[in-house]
Amino acid sequence: MPIHNLGYREWEGERESGNSRWTVVAGIGIRRAWQSAWLRRIAFLVWGPPLAYGVLIFLFEQVLTSNTQGNADGMRELLRLLLPAEMFPVVQVTLDGLNGADREELLNAARPIFWKSVLLQLQRSQAIGMVVVVGLIAPSLISQDVRSRAFLLYFSRPLTRVQYIFGKCATVLCYLLLTCTLPQLLLYVFAVLLSPDISVISQTWDLPLRAVAASAAMIVPTTLLALMLSSMTVESRFATFGWFAIWIFGLAAFLVMQNLNGDTSELVLRMSFLFLLYSDLSVAILDIPSFSPHADTQFAFVFALCVICFAVIYRKVSAPLRA
C-alpha cells in the first residue's frame, strides 16, 4: 500500500474520559514509591497498633460487664491512661453524672467516649508514621520532574496543571489512606467483633465516618504541605530536609513557648506544633468532651494552609510552561 494511502485511522481501542488522565500520573508515582523497601516495611508495621487497641477495647468491654461500681472505676482508669491530661477532668465530670445509673445507661454513655479515645490515640501514633511515609514519598514527586524536565513530556499531552497536581497528591494520599485511614476502620471492625453484643453498632455507627473525617483533616494539609516543599526546589534532598525540619523545629518551638510561664497564648502554643494541631482537630471531629474554644480558628488555619500550599504548587508547576 502506498504511504499516501495510509491517512488517519479511527481509534479502535477503548476510550476513557479525559477526567481520568490524572490516574496515569498517580499510577506512575505509586509504583515508583512502592519500590522503596523502607516504605513497604512501614506500610506493614502500621497494621500492628489496631490489633493492640482492639485487645484494649475487648478488656474495656469485659470491665463493663462486671458490677456497676467496678464498671465506673475500671472505665475511669482506662480513660485516664488513654486521654490527655487536660481532657480527662472534662470526661470525668461527664461520667460523674452517671452515679447510681443502671448498667444500660452506663454502657450507652461510657462506650462511645472510650471508643473515640482509642481512635484518638491510634491517630496520634499514626502521625509519627505519617511523617516518615510522607518524607519517603513526597519530596521527589515534583522536584525530580523539574530537574529532569519531565514537564515537557507531561504537558505535551492533553494534561492540565490541576490534573497533574491532583495526580501527585493522589500518590501520597494513596499511601496515607493505606497507613492511616484503613487501620482506623479496621480497628472499628475489630471493636464490633470483640463486643459482647452486635447492638454496639447503634451506639457507635458514626465512628467510621468521624474517623475518616479526622483522618482527612490530617492527611490533606500534610500532603499539600509536603508537595509544596517538593515544588520549591530541584533537589529532593532539600525538600526532605525542609519536611523533617518543620516537625523537629515545630516541636522545639512548642517546648520553648511552653516554658514561657504563660506568656504565650494557648492558641499559638497549640498551633506551633502540627502534631498538637492535628490532635485538636481530631478531638473536635470525634466529638470527645473537652474545653477547646479555638477549634473554629484551628480549622480556619488548616484551610488557609491548604489554599496557600495549593497556590504555591500551582504557581511553581506553571513556571516552566511560561519560560
What tens digit of pLDDT does each residue of 11-39 get? Answer: 666 776 667 778 888 888 899 888 888 88
pLDDT at position 287 is 82
> 145-191, pLDDT tens digit by residue?
888 777 777 777 777 888 888 999 999 999 999 888 898 888 888 88
Q: Which long-range contacts (CB under 8 A, 24 or more apart) does 104-108 make?
A: 106/64, 106/68, 106/71, 106/72, 107/64, 107/203, 108/203
Distance, in Å, from the CA atom of 197 to the CA atom of 199, rounded to the nearest integer, reads: 5
Residue 207: burial class (beta carbons within 10 Å; 0-12, 13-18, 19+): buried
Closest CA to 258 of 278, 272, 277, 244: 272
Distance, in Å, from the CA atom of 236 to the CA atom of 258, rounded to the nearest integer, reads: 33
Distance, in Å, from the CA atom of 152 to the CA atom of 160, rounded to the nearest integer, reads: 13
pLDDT at position 92 is 58
Q: Over the chain, what is the mean pLDDT?
A: 78
What's the chain's length in residues? 323
Closest CA to 147 of 242, 243, 24, 232: 232
pLDDT at position 220 is 93
Check if the beta carbon of residue 170 is closer than 8 Å to that of residue 259: no
Share of the chain above pLDDT 70, in %: 75
Distance, in Å, from the CA atom of 48 to the CA atom of 33, rounded to the nearest integer, reads: 22
Those residues whose C-beta lies under 8 Å from the C-beta of residue 42, and which sit 6 or more positions away, are 129, 132, 133, 136, 179
> 79-126, pLDDT tens digit by residue?
666 665 555 555 555 555 555 555 566 666 677 777 888 888 888 888
**Helix %, strand %, coil % of the chain (to 5):** 80, 0, 20
pLDDT at position 311 is 93
100 conformational bin, left if phi > 0, alpha if psi -120 to 50, beta if neither: left
Pick from 31-40, 187-196, 243-252: least confident: 187-196
pLDDT band at 261 (very low <50, low <70, confident <90, very high): low
Check if the beta carbon of residue 50 is closer than 8 Å to that of residue 190: yes
7 conformational bin, left if phi > 0, alpha if psi -120 to 50, beta if neither: left
* In the predicted structure, residue 4 carries a pLDDT above the cut 60: no
Q: What is the mean pLDDT of residues 285-306?
A: 81
pLDDT band at 305 (very low <50, low <70, confident <90, very high): very high
> 48-67, pLDDT tens digit by residue?
777 778 777 777 777 666 65
C-alpha cell at 97: 453524672
C-alpha cell at 190: 475489630
